[in-house]
Amino acid sequence: MTAALSVDRLEVVFDRFRALKGVSLEVQSGESFGLVGESGSGKSTLLRAIAGLAPAASGSITVNGKKLGARRDKAFYREVQMVFQDPYGSLHPRQTVDRLLQEPLAIHGFGDGEKRIQRALDEVGLGTGFRFRYSHQLSGGQRQRVAIARALILEPSILLLDEPTSALDASVQAEVLNLLEEIRRRRKLTFLMVSHDLAIITHMCQRLMVMQNGEAVEHLTAGDLIERRVSKDYTRNLLRASEGFVRA
């Protein structure tokens, strides 16, 4: 098996604050990998650094065997796409769904836009009735489906998911998680998914990395978590917290 994505001793520094302190990980092709941690753990920063939205101070990122430079080229964006956390902030407020989906096709010079947009909307379960709506005419779950369609329309092989369901209601969350799983199976995608919720990560991912203060705490498999085979106190705390409140 080849690594679809590998990150080696990656450092990210914002104004002397080390948001990421030499983190390494390797995600196999077709695998779903989870990043878990609390706010400030650097999990989102890691995702953004891979996408090129946060500057890497040192270390390297390799995608499908190709080492990335400081600037991402167009080919990179056809391999890697991202879904953001807040569905209310990730869609342009003055553009219709149609226009949102057209944009990536126009940038990459795809000719068969009409067909691709139809297919992308069908794939995320929206259908063409939503095609000419503005984002304010959509619910949170529908917005997130549009965001997923937008990420898929360039047919990437790797999808970066930044807490894609944390702003959604529990019932909508289940629908979106199911959709993501189905898409991954059908398109044989590689997922790198960030969440603060251990249950979601164990549901969605085979392997995961627990992060704290910009560092990796430990690498685990979903099976390890289910059988409570964890070695670090921090992970144990997270596990306990995920079970809800226990009266002392």
Subset of 165-204 contacting other proteins (CB under 8 A): 169-175, 177-178, 181-182, 196-200, 202-204
Contact 130, 121 (CB under 8 A): yes
Output 20 or 230, the one with its CB closest to other proteins.
230
Binding track, positions 219-248, relative to other proteins; x by CB under 8 A:
------xx----------xxx-xxxxxxxx
Task: Kindly state the smallest distance separating residue 169's Cβ from other proteins, in Å.
Answer: 4
Task: Kindly state the smallest distance separating residue 193's Cβ from other proteins, in Å.
Answer: 12
Nearest Cα residue to 26 out of 65, 57, 55, 52: 65
Task: Kindly state the smallest distance separating residue 91's Cβ from other proteins, in Å.
Answer: 6
Binding track, positions 49-88, relative to other proteins; x by CB under 8 A:
--xxx------------------xxx-xxx--xx-xxx--
Query: Could you tell me which stretch among 2-10, 19-27, 91-99, 117-125 binds other proteins (CB under 8 A)?
Result: 91-99
By CB under 8 A, is residue 110 in contact with other proteins? no
Output 9 or 80, the one with its CB closest to other proteins.
80
Q: Which of 9, 66, 67, 108 binds other proteins (CB under 8 A)?
A: 108
Burial class (CB in 10 A: 0-12, 13-18, 19+), 62: middle
Task: Kindly state the smallest distance separating residue 154's Cβ from other proteins, in Å.
Answer: 7
Contact 179, 124 (CB under 8 A): yes
Task: Kindly state the smallest distance separating residue 22's Cβ from other proteins, in Å.
Answer: 23
Output 24 or 213, the one with its CB closest to other proteins.
213
Q: Which of 66, 67, 92, 229 binds other proteins (CB under 8 A)?
A: 92
Task: Kindly state the smallest distance separating residue 171's Cβ from other proteins, in Å.
Answer: 4
* Cα–Cα dist 112/235, whole Å: 48
Output 21 or 203, the one with its CB closest to other proteins.
203
By CB under 8 A, is residue 5 in contact with other proteins? no
* Cα–Cα dist 128/55, whole Å: 38
